[in-house]
Amino acid sequence: MPEEDPVRDAGGPDGCGRDGRGAASSEAAPPGRSGADCQVRFLPVEQTVQVAAGATIEDALVAAGLRMPLPCGGQGRCGRCVVEVRAGEVRRRSVVRLTEEELARGCALACQTAIEGDAVVWVPPVEERFERFERGDRAEKAASELPVCPGTAVPWVVALPLDLPAPSLSDNMADLERVQTGLARQHGMQDVIPTLTALADLPQSLRDGEWQVTAVVEQGNGVDLEAPRRLLAVVPGAPPVRTWGAAIDIGTTTVAVYLGDLATSRLIDQASAYNGQIACGEDVISRIMYGRRPERRLELQERVVQTINGLLDRLLERQGGAPDDVKVSVVAGNTTMTHLFLGLQADFIRLEPYVPAAAWFSPQPAARLGLHLHPEALVDCLPAVGAYVGGDITAGVLRAGFHQEDPVTLFLDVGTNGEMVLGNSEWLLTCACSAGPAFEGAGVASGMRAVDGAIEEVWIDPHTFEPTVSTLGDVAARGICGSGMISLLSELRATGLIDKSGRMVAHDRADRVRAGDAGLEYVVARAEDADGRDVVLTETDIQNLLRAKAAIYAGAAVLCDSVGLAVTDVERVLIGGAFGRHIDVQKAIAIGLLPDLPWEAFSYLGNTSVQGAYLALTCREYRRQIDELAAKMTYLELSADNRFMDEFTSALFIPHTDLSLFPSVSASPPDAPKEGVDGL
C-alpha cells in the first residue's frame, strides 16, 4: 500500500490543482465551526471566495482561480507557498522555513494552513524563478558532431512513389489492395498494414493523383525491418513528402525537442522549454506526490504534453511545417517523467523497494497521447533500467558511445537527479544518487536556474574577500545557478572563508560575511549591485550543496568499488545534462564533486538524452543498441547499499575526508589558473 499523506489528502486540492472545489473533508474541519462557510478575501487582487471551514488557504486560492506554485507538491517542505494572513482565524499545521519575523507578520504556508473563519489574505506575486521560461533555443553541439549511424541507412519512415493502373470493371480491386500490390511490385514491400488515417481519404488521394501517388510507409518498429509495416499516408502525385521525426527529451526541469529529417538524418531545428509540470513540484518525488490522485495524474500528463506541443508548434512554425510532416518520434525521459507522460501510476517509484510500473514501453500513436504530430506517428519511449535510471540514461549512454569502447568510463548526467553509469564495452553498471535539485537552485536561498541574471562564476579576492562575479546575460545578478555555486564554494574554501566541513569563518577582514536568519552567510552581491535584493550563500545552503555533491561522489565511488576499482582508476569522465554545461571542472574537483583526474579525462557532451533519442530516431541500429544497452545495464540500488552511506559521510567534507583521493586539490594554490572543460 502507498504511504499516505494525511494532511494533503484531508486538505484537498492545491494551487496547482484542477480539482479544487474549496471544500475540505469534515475530517480536517476544526472543532469550533465545522463545515460552516468562511469568506476569504485575497489581496492585492481583491477577490473573495466562500470555502468550508477547515479548507486550506490553498483550497481557497484554487477556488478563487488563483495559482500558487508548489515545488514540493504541497507537502509543506519547501516553504514556497508563503502568504500573509492580514486578518481572520487560521490554524497553521506547519510553519517549516518560516522565520520568527515572518510569523510575526502573519505569514503562513498556504498548503499547511486551515481556514477557521472569515479571513483576509495577502498573496505575494509569484516569484519569477517558478514561471515558465522559454530558453533561447541555444545551439547544441552541431549534428555533424554526433556519431554517424553504423548500421543500415534505411530510414524508419519512407515516402515511395507509386504508379498504379487505373481501375476498370474488369480490375476493380479495392483501393487499398491496389496500393498494396503497387508497394509489393514496385518496392518489394509486402504486407503493409493500413492505418485508419491513411485509409480514410485514400480513394480521393488516388483519384486526385490520377493513380500516381506517394505512399508514406513506416518500415518496421524502428528496431526490426521485418516487423509489420504500416501505411501512414497516401499523397496525390509525386510531391516532396516530408518524413520528419521528433526526438523529445522530457527532463524534470527542461523539455528539449530535436526536429530531424528521417530521409537525410539532417537535424532541422531544436527548441527547449521548462517542463510545465514544474508548478506541481520541482523534483520527481514532489511530482509523484502531487500525482497520486487520478485527476492530478491526468493534469501532470496534460501539462507535459502541452509543453511538448508548444515546442513542436514553435519548431514547425519556424520551419514552415505541419504536424502531419512529423511521422515518428522517440522520447527519452527519466522513469518518472516517462510514467507521467504516458499517464502511468508512478507512486511506487518513490517507495521502497522502488518499483516502476514498467521499464519498457510499447509505442503509442501520437493521437492517443495528444501530441501535435501526424496522428498515426508512433511515439516510442526509450526503455528504462530501473526506478531512477530511465530512458534519458540509456539514450545518454548510446550518445556517449563508451558501451562500445575499451576505456573504463564514468558517465554522469547531473540534472535534477544525479544518475551515472560506469563501464565499457564489456559491462555497464548504473545507479542514481538522489543528489536532489540543489545545483538547480532548490534548497538554496538565492539559488536559481541557469537563466539570465544567474551568477555563473565567482572569484574571491584572498585578501579583501571581495567577490567578482559573472552573470548570465550580463545583467544584474538575481541569484546563483549551479555552476556559480560550485565556483563560489570552491572560492570560499580556497580563501579560507569556510572550513572543510563547510562552516563559515567570520573573518574580521571579511565584511561580506554576516549573521543572517539561518546562521552566517556570505553576501555574493549586495542589493544595490544586484536586482534589488542581496544575493547570499548561507551555511544551510552550503550544507545542502555538500549533501548533493557528496551523493554524486559517493555514487561514483560505490560503482567503482562494485567492480573492484578505485575512483582514480576511471579513465574517462563524460558529462551530460544541462548542469554540466558550465561546470568549471577544476573547481568541481576542488569541492570534491568530481573525482580528481587530469582535466583531459573530462568531456562535456551536452544534452545526451535528446541527442541519444535523436540517434535512435534516425538510425535503427542505434535504436536496437538502446534496447540491448538497457537489458545489459546492472542497476545498483544505493539505498540498499551500506557502502553508499559510508562513502556519503566521507564525502560531506571539502573536498573529502580522505585527502589522498584529491592530490591536486591539496597541492593547488588558491589562485592557480583555471582551465575549462574541453569543448566548452
One of 360, 468, 511, 663 touching its own copies (CB under 8 A): 360
CB of 680 to its own copies, least distance (A): 37
User: Can residue 639 be called a binding residue for its own copies (CB under 8 A)?
Assistant: yes
One of 115, 176, 442, 455 touching its own copies (CB under 8 A): 176
Q: Could you give the string, one character per residue 372-391, with x where binding to its own copies holds by CB under 8 A and - elsewhere?
A: ------------x-xx----
Binding piece for its own copies, criterion CB under 8 A, among 13-21, 244-252, 356-364, 421-429: 356-364
Task: For residues 429 and 562, give the distance between their C-alpha atoms in angstroms, rounded to a whole number.
Answer: 9
Around 183, how many Cα atoms within 13 Å sit in the side-chain half-sphere? Answer: 25
CB-nearer residue toward its own copies: 359 or 554: 359
Task: For residues 608 and 606, give the distance between their C-alpha atoms in angstroms, rounded to a whole number.
Answer: 6
For cell 579513465, the residue is: 571
190's grid cell? 509486402
One of 47, 181, 186, 345 touching its own copies (CB under 8 A): 345
Burial track 2-26 (b if 16+ CB lie within 10 A, e otherwise): eeeeebbebbbbbbbbeebebbbee
One of 126, 358, 518, 565 touching its own copies (CB under 8 A): 358
CB-nearer residue toward its own copies: 348 or 459: 348
The per-residue DSSP string of 332-354 comes to: EE-HHHHHHHHT---GGGSSTT-
CB-nearer residue toward its own copies: 91 or 293: 293
Binding piece for its own copies, criterion CB under 8 A, among 33-41, 114-122, 255-263, 357-365: 357-365
User: Can residue 539 be called a binding residue for its own copies (CB under 8 A)?
Assistant: no
CB-nearer residue toward its own copies: 36 or 200: 200
Task: For residues 190 and 419, give the distance between their C-alpha atoms in angstroms, rounded to a whole number.
Answer: 43
CB of 252 to its own copies, least distance (A): 20
CB of 652 to its own copies, least distance (A): 24
Using CB under 8 A as the binding rule, the residues of this chain from 200 to 219 that contact its own copies are 200-204, 207
Alpha helices in 526-573 (DSSP H): 539-562
CB-nearer residue toward its own copies: 548 or 630: 630
Contacts of 379 (CB under 8 A, 6+ apart): 329, 331, 363, 364, 365, 366, 369, 371, 373
| Beta strand extents in 111-223 (DSSP E only) | 113-122, 157-163, 192-194, 212-218
CB-nearer residue toward its own copies: 338 or 495: 338
Contacts of 51 (CB under 8 A, 6+ apart): 22, 23, 24, 37, 38, 40, 59, 60, 63, 115
The per-residue DSSP string of 99-130 comes to: -HHHHHHTEEEGGGEEEEEEEEEE-PPPPGGG
User: Can residue 199 be called a binding residue for its own copies (CB under 8 A)?
Assistant: yes
CB of 343 to its own copies, least distance (A): 5
One of 145, 177, 406, 671 touching its own copies (CB under 8 A): 177
CB-nearer residue toward its own copies: 174 or 645: 174
Task: For residues 490 and 589, give the distance between their C-alpha atoms in angstroms, rounded to a whole number.
Answer: 9
Task: For residues 371 and 311, give the distance between their C-alpha atoms in angstroms, rounded to a whole number.
Answer: 11
Around 81, how many Cα atoms within 13 Å sit in the side-chain half-sphere? Answer: 32
One of 52, 115, 157, 359 touching its own copies (CB under 8 A): 359
Binding region for its own copies (CB under 8 A): 1-2, 167-177, 193-196, 199-204, 207, 342-345, 347-348, 352-362, 364, 368, 384, 386-387, 637, 639-640
